[in-house]
Amino acid sequence: MEREIAASYEPKLNSEIRIFESSDEILTDLAEYISQVSEISVKERGYFAIALSGGPLVSFLSKLCEAPYIKTLDWSKWYIFWSDERAVAKNHADSNYKLTKEGFLSKVPIMSGHVYSINDSATVEDAATDYEFVIRQLVKIRTIGVSESTDCPKFDLILLSMGSDGHVASLFPSHQALEVKDDWVTYITDSPQPPPERITFTLPVINSASNIAILAMGVDKANAVHSAVSDGGDGPDAPASLPARMVQPTDGKLVWFLDKEAASSLEALSDDAYQQQRREC
């Protein structure tokens, strides 16, 4: 009998789950995925607007700094943004900009004028307002697309990493920032993880992207992954306020990049479903 995927984690509409044996496999596949989205975006729109998050995600961009991508990608058409940023100086150890510059931007020929970091000399509230203003100006000239469904910016790709609590960008479980609908960029002053002050894209902006990729690695992410991708009803194991679960593209596509440990709850469910199917045969 052919083994089937457990129905309890069938991917939601417009989403895909990719599970890998090792981090090296994720590196390779993620680079090819980003390359393909970039090439399609440049061909169709003339630009590639990508928003990054911090943490471990930056290290997974390393393959793009190597052949063949370093020579084949049209870097002059890349525009870099951050889906969230810590309200610290650009040279601070917690700065997503610093991490990205050292691990990626300094190694690829992206024009400095195409890199949009936050105003680190402003208050966190003003930094969020300023960042949204910049994005609005780029939407007006269509450097960033616009969603016909939501009128939000339509980034070609938003890359996210998920925390063990299910947070994405700087949207944390049960936080009031999850309820912000009218702003494109909001701010928080009480992050449950340091530093406390951050700016972040709102859910409507994230969900308006043409493509969204979420990276999760490690067994500590397994429960949150299951809760996020399960297509069952909301319950104690799938809280409605889990931010990663609330990432549901309006018109675009979501791809999960998981290692075996992060996907272990899914695989355990698949094993149970398979054994149940065998007993019923």
- Domain holding 223: CATH number? 3.40.50.1360
Q: What confidence tens digit (pLDDT) does each residue in 161-218 have? A: 999 999 999 999 999 999 999 999 999 999 999 999 999 999 999 999 999 999 999 9
Largest CA distance in the chain: 66
88 pLDDT higher than 60: yes
- Report how far residue 76's alpha carbon sits from residue 90's, in angstroms, rounded to the nearest whole number: 23
- pLDDT for 14 equals 81
- pLDDT for 56 equals 82
Q: Which long-range contacts (CB under 8 A, 24 or more apart) does 228-237 make?
A: 228/162, 228/166, 229/9, 229/11, 229/12, 229/15, 229/17, 229/256, 229/266, 230/8, 230/9, 231/8, 231/9, 231/10, 231/11, 231/12, 232/8
Q: What confidence tens digit (pLDDT) does each residue in 138-161 have? A: 999 999 999 999 999 999 999 999
Q: What's the whole-number average pLDDT of the chain?
A: 89
Instruction: Examine residue 118 and state whether it is found in any structural domain, yes or no.
Output: yes
- pLDDT for 13 equals 66
Instruction: Examine residue 220 and state whether it is found in any structural domain, yes or no.
Output: yes
- Report how far residue 241's alpha carbon sits from residue 179's, in angstroms, rounded to the nearest whole number: 10
Backbone angles phi, psi at 65, to 5 degrees: -85, 0
Instruction: Examine residue 239 and state whether it is found in any structural domain, yes or no.
Output: yes
Query: Predicted confidence band at 278 (pLDDT cuts at 50, 70, 90)?
Result: very low
* Pairing relationship of beta strands 48-52 and 157-161 according to DSSP bridges: parallel
- pLDDT for 231 equals 65
What distance lies between CA 246 and its chain's CA centroid?
Answer: 12
| Nearest 10 degrees: Cα torsion 87, 58, 244, 249 | 100
Structural domain harbouring 37 = 15-278
Domains: count for the chain: 1
15 pLDDT higher than 90: no
- The Cα-based distances of 77 to 45, 111, 112 in angstroms read 10, 9, 12
Instruction: Examine residue 25 and state whether it is found in any structural domain, yes or no.
Output: yes
The reply to whether the predicted model has a pTM over 0.85 is yes
Q: What confidence tens digit (pLDDT) does each residue in 219-272 have? A: 999 999 999 997 654 444 445 679 999 999 999 999 999 999 999 988 654 444
Instruction: Examine residue 2 and state whether it is found in any structural domain, yes or no.
Output: no
Instruction: Examine residue 5 and state whether it is found in any structural domain, yes or no.
Output: no
Instruction: Examine residue 3 and state whether it is found in any structural domain, yes or no.
Output: no
Instruction: Examine residue 214 and state whether it is found in any structural domain, yes or no.
Output: yes
